[in-house]
Structure 1
């Protein structure tokens, strides 16, 4: 049987030790079968177990193998499209409910870390950095918007103030969100998986779902076993493949690239980011970075539409890092990797139900660390018969990419090229 290891990344190299988990080789019965051991699946499993469900989680590779274990590790609030955009699309009532949930994911992460003693280098504080006056105007509007929904841990920063938190000459200002922050993403996933097992959940690795037998008692088939359940939660996101064709039609896997430097040492690390906040800029094709627990700089950016792996990741990302921090020109890059996230045309998550008993959430569109943790809670509520918050997401309109799957990549890349020009020339 094929064994899929973690990709070579800083996160895999520095992951906490965990026991090996078996592949499914039997026929089992459960209340809920969760497909995918990333954040969405693990969050769903935890909330369900805490409410008395029997849960079995199937993972095609290893816990956190996909975006959950490869992302930039930043806790960023709201959605990839903010609440004002949602409000214009669906009206004030639905937007109010979605707005109230926009800041919940970060709280869930902190609750999980505290409750289950997860060692994942959690640090508070995230910075949105403005390069242009237009971006600064947007941050001022965003602060007013978020405060309208009760989110008050925000500080606007002028050029002098932002230089106190990040040693980069590009920025004219920014916004600090103290409820943002950063984590070692793979260790968070591994800690959540251990929490699932501590509550009696069962987790199988190297056990891809190859077929779903739909019906009153659905069955998920793997290469060597099957799970009969009352409910199924599909949580594969960009790594789901074509297991559920209805979900593949309205989404597109995209790749993002990350590099990690050699350890910088305390003095240089503190000079770059004195308060150890994470940072993302306000460009459409944004760059993001932070320090690791052992004082490396983790720097990511760029999007490859269609999820192709670039031949030379360092050649793509290192120039971006040096533009922000030319003082790192002689610093060695120890790790470079890519990972896929799932993009929707609206850039809002897709949530719903197929038939009576197959639930799904996907398409975080690059904003998944916090949203996925909220999604797990919302899915668990729906299985318990409390569907108001689930329905608020499920009722969001979604559309296929123009030209179908064949043309979705070039169309998306063309759109990104246009927005990249807007970032470059400030229009």
Structure 2
């Protein structure tokens, strides 16, 4: 059977040591079969195990193989579309419930790290950096919006203040969120997987779900085994393929690119980001960066619609890094990689149930580190019969991309081109 290793990345190269996990080669029974050992699946598994369920997790490759182990590692609150956009779409009652959950994912991550002693270089503090006065005005509105939902760990920064936290002269101001922060994302996933096993959960790697046999007692088939369960949670996101055709129709895998420098040393690293906060700018096609635990700069940005791998990632991202930090012109890039996230037309997550016993969450739209941890909790609540928060997500309206599978990529790319021009000219 094929063995799928981690793609080359800084995270894979610096991952904590873990024992090998077997592929499924038997027929097993469980209460819940989780498809996908990324953040959504691992979070759901942990909450279910803590509630007394028997849980089996199937992973097609290795824990955190997808976006959970390749992302920028930033703890960013809310959703890819903010609460005011949701409120205009669904009304104040549903938006109120979703708004109350918008800041929960980061708290779940910190609780998991503390409870299970997960070593993932957790640091507090995230910066939203405004390049134009219009973006600064948006941050002022965002602060008022978030504070309306009880989120108060926020500080608006003028141009002088933001230069105290990031040595970049592009920004006119920004907002600091001290409940934001950053982590080594693959080590977080590996620590959560170990926590799943510590509670009696079973995790199989190199065990892709190839078919779901639906019914009163659904069965998930893998190449060499099968899992019979009372419930199934589908948590494959951008790496699900066409396993569940209903989910593929309303989403599109997209790629984002990340580079990592050689170690910068304490002095240079501190000169760039003195408080070790992570940063993302406010453009539609945004750039994001932070320091790793060993003082490298991790810098990401760019979107490839349809999830193709660019031929030269460094050529795409290095100029963005040098625009922010020209002082790094002689610094070597040690790692460059791409990873896929799942985009929805609304840029809001898709949550729901197929039949009576197949639950899913997907489509974080580039905003997944915190949302996926919340999603796991909401899915577990639904399986326990507490569906109010699940229903708040499930009732969000979603539509397929115009033109179906064939035209979704060019339409999305055209939209990104338009917003890219708006970013460029400051609209």
Distance in 1, matches of 2:294 and 2:319, equals 23
Distance in 1, matches of 2:402 and 2:358, equals 27
Distance in 1, matches of 2:160 and 2:99, equals 32
Deviation at 1:345, TM superposition (A): 0.1
What SS does structure 1 have at the residue aligned with 2:178?
strand
Distance in 2, matches of 1:159 and 1:94, equals 37
Deviation at 1:181, TM superposition (A): 0.0
Kindly indicate whether residue 221 of structure 2 is the aligned counterpart of residue 221 of structure 1: yes
Deviation at 1:109, TM superposition (A): 0.0
Distance in 2, matches of 1:179 and 1:125, equals 6
What SS does structure 2 have at the residue aligned with 1:398?
coil
Q: Which runs of 4+ in 1 moved over 3 A?
A: none
What SS does structure 1 have at the residue aligned with 2:413?
helix
Kindly indicate whether residue 235 of structure 2 is the aligned counterpart of residue 235 of structure 1: yes
Residues 11-32 of structure 1: CA distance to partner in whole angstroms, max 9, x if unpaired?
0000000000000000000000
Deviation at 1:150, TM superposition (A): 0.1
Deviation at 1:251, TM superposition (A): 0.1
Residues 313-332 of structure 1: CA distance to partner in whole angstroms, max 9, x if unpaired?
00000000000000000000
CA RMSD of aligned residues (A): 0.1
Distance in 1, matches of 2:247 and 2:189, equals 24
Distance in 2, matches of 1:322 and 1:19, equals 39
Distance in 2, matches of 1:346 and 1:417, equals 17
Deviation at 1:125, TM superposition (A): 0.0
Distance in 2, matches of 1:276 and 1:59, equals 33
Distance in 2, matches of 1:192 and 1:144, equals 34
Residues 370-412 of structure 1: CA distance to partner in whole angstroms, max 9, x if unpaired?
0000000000000000000000000000000000010000000
Distance in 1, matches of 2:134 and 2:95, equals 25
What SS does structure 2 have at the residue aligned with 1:72?
coil
Residues 229-259 of structure 1: CA distance to partner in whole angstroms, max 9, x if unpaired?
0000000000000000000000000000000
Distance in 1, matches of 2:396 and 2:278, equals 30
Q: Give the TM-score normalised by the residue count of structure 2.
A: 1.00
Distance in 1, matches of 2:286 and 2:46, equals 32
What SS does structure 1 have at the residue aligned with 2:176?
strand
Distance in 2, matches of 1:199 and 1:70, equals 26
Distance in 2, matches of 1:84 and 1:289, equals 26
Deviation at 1:369, TM superposition (A): 0.0
Distance in 2, matches of 1:89 and 1:200, equals 42
Deviation at 1:51, TM superposition (A): 0.1
Number of matched residues? 427
Residues 91-125 of structure 1: CA distance to partner in whole angstroms, max 9, x if unpaired?
00000000000000000000000000000000000
What SS does structure 2 have at the residue aligned with 1:232?
strand
Residues 147-181 of structure 1: CA distance to partner in whole angstroms, max 9, x if unpaired?
00000000000000000000000000000000000
What SS does structure 2 have at the residue aligned with 1:323?
helix
Distance in 1, matches of 2:49 and 2:272, equals 42
Deviation at 1:282, TM superposition (A): 0.1
Deviation at 1:263, TM superposition (A): 0.0
Deviation at 1:365, TM superposition (A): 0.1
Q: Give the TM-score normalised by the residue count of structure 1.
A: 1.00
Deviation at 1:182, TM superposition (A): 0.0
Distance in 2, matches of 1:12 and 1:302, equals 21
Distance in 2, matches of 1:304 and 1:323, equals 21
What SS does structure 2 have at the residue aligned with 1:314?
helix
What SS does structure 2 have at the residue aligned with 1:340?
strand
Distance in 2, matches of 1:268 and 1:6, equals 30
Q: In the alignment, what sits opposite 2:352?
A: 352
What SS does structure 2 have at the residue aligned with 1:164?
helix
Deviation at 1:281, TM superposition (A): 0.1
